[in-house]
Structure 1
């Protein structure tokens, strides 16, 4: 029995899940007057009960989806570069550095969702910095190797240009967000909060572009069960011009 899951759905799910989740926590927090209704910090929308539980779920769920995207992208680059020799080695080194950077950024996001500002502000802020810093490293590295990975997109240079623009905007937004946050002035704090929402929208936009590169790629699960036989897992990656498939097979092993 085989089940196919179109991988291109993952970036869409990540963006939709985070948007709906944060909109929910904002609505609850603003409705209960737990935070300022006008441009609160994202973290302030999940600082008090009952919205804090939803906020943790949103951050954890978003992290799970982003990590899934990172792992699939790692496998895609590992098997999908059309270069050989030293160029292939460089691409794979970059790929291997990018994955742990992305995973560390995920840990930062989990810290943001797990530790509320009112309880442990220092650890919460550390999570923000870790998530932004290592997430940015991941995005820079995959921007660099993106044009050299199959599927070889006709608009790959346009995709590269869009990613570079997003990275520039992320740097500017991060500077405004973190810089204005240091000053205890209402206007600057509101500018910082608005920029934070814009910043996370930019980050989601970067990962959303993977929809284009994940086209015609399926995560395929094969399950075969036999009685009294030990089961073994085998991961198979097939790559052709029409479709890339990541298969997980549950095979009998005598």
Structure 2
């Protein structure tokens, strides 16, 4: 019977904390140097819309999505072993479903660029951010319930609530800003593509609100999964392999 102790499992959220910023900074830097996007707060997806930055963006986001999926599964099993007396089995099962959709959304965003397959890309973004935020709210509630039994850290509950609230407000401001930015762009724009949205184009301020909100939302969601570090320190993952011979 092989096992992976807590110190090994915390490498998952730690890896997420490392890969996330590397992905954001690298794809943004290459996109700006290649002249593919505006310098001031482009949409994250726009920094991964064209090669070569799209290759780096896609590879990193695929790895991050896989880490999120494994983290969702581990957190589900961890909570499932705690909630015998708290009546949270259904909610915990729902978070497993939401978390898997969130990870799937990240993979869709990584593999279907908005420059080529916009519908699938936006569907992935909805799964990643929309369902991801609902997942975070649900697990924040679960964290507070579990804290009554002193099974997790109180500060982690507060931090998760703060990150989830920040992500939710950013999600709303991103959508609202995008709506007004598009309306302003349609009325007047100098540049041919919104990838180079500038102050001389209509709806520029709303555009910056939307793009900045997306960056904040992304960092907040990744930060939420990083808060699993103290929880994963207290669990072991055991893999049991059994050999049988067909008769």
- Return the TM-score normalized by structure 2: 0.82
1:155 Cα deviation from its structure 2 partner: 6.6
The equivalent residue for 1:64 is 66
The aligned runs of 1:1-254 (5 Å cut-off) are: 2=2, 4=4, 6-81=8-83, 83-84=84-85, 87=86, 90-149=87-146, 153=150, 156-182=153-179, 183=181, 184=185, 185-217=203-235, 245-253=236-244
The equivalent residue for 1:223 is none
Q: How many residues align?
A: 222
Aligned alpha-carbon RMSD (Å): 2.1
The equivalent residue for 1:240 is none
SS in 2 for 1:39: coil
- Gap runs ≥5 in structure 2: 186-202
- Gap runs ≥5 in structure 1: 218-244
CA contact (8 A) 2:109 2:122 kept: yes
Cα deviations by residue, 1:58-87 (Å, 9 ceiling, x for unpaired)? 221111000000000111011133x42xx3
Cα deviations by residue, 1:27-53 (Å, 9 ceiling, x for unpaired)? 111111111122111001111111111
CA–CA separation in structure 2 for the residues paired with 1:18 and 1:135: 16
CA–CA separation in structure 1 for the residues paired with 2:130 and 2:2: 39
1:96 Cα deviation from its structure 2 partner: 0.6
CA contact (8 A) 1:14 1:62 kept: yes
CA–CA separation in structure 2 for the residues paired with 1:9 and 1:60: 17
CA–CA separation in structure 1 for the residues paired with 2:148 and 2:59: 34
User: CA 1:100 to 1:19, structure 2 compared with 1: closer, same or farther past 3 Å?
Assistant: same
CA–CA separation in structure 1 for the residues paired with 2:175 and 2:118: 15
SS in 1 for 2:43: coil
SS in 2 for 1:250: coil
SS in 1 for 2:242: strand
SS in 2 for 1:252: coil
CA–CA separation in structure 1 for the residues paired with 2:149 and 2:39: 46
Cα deviations by residue, 1:143-193 (Å, 9 ceiling, x for unpaired)? 111144489657733322222222221111111111111223112112211
Q: From the two aligned structures, give the one with the greater strand fraction.
A: 1
Cα deviations by residue, 1:165-223 (Å, 9 ceiling, x for unpaired)? 22221111111111111223112112211121111111111111100111133xxxxxx
User: CA 1:3 to 1:91, structure 2 compared with 1: closer, same or farther past 3 Å?
Assistant: closer
Q: Greater relative contact order (Cα 8 A, min sep 6): structure 1 or 2?
A: 2
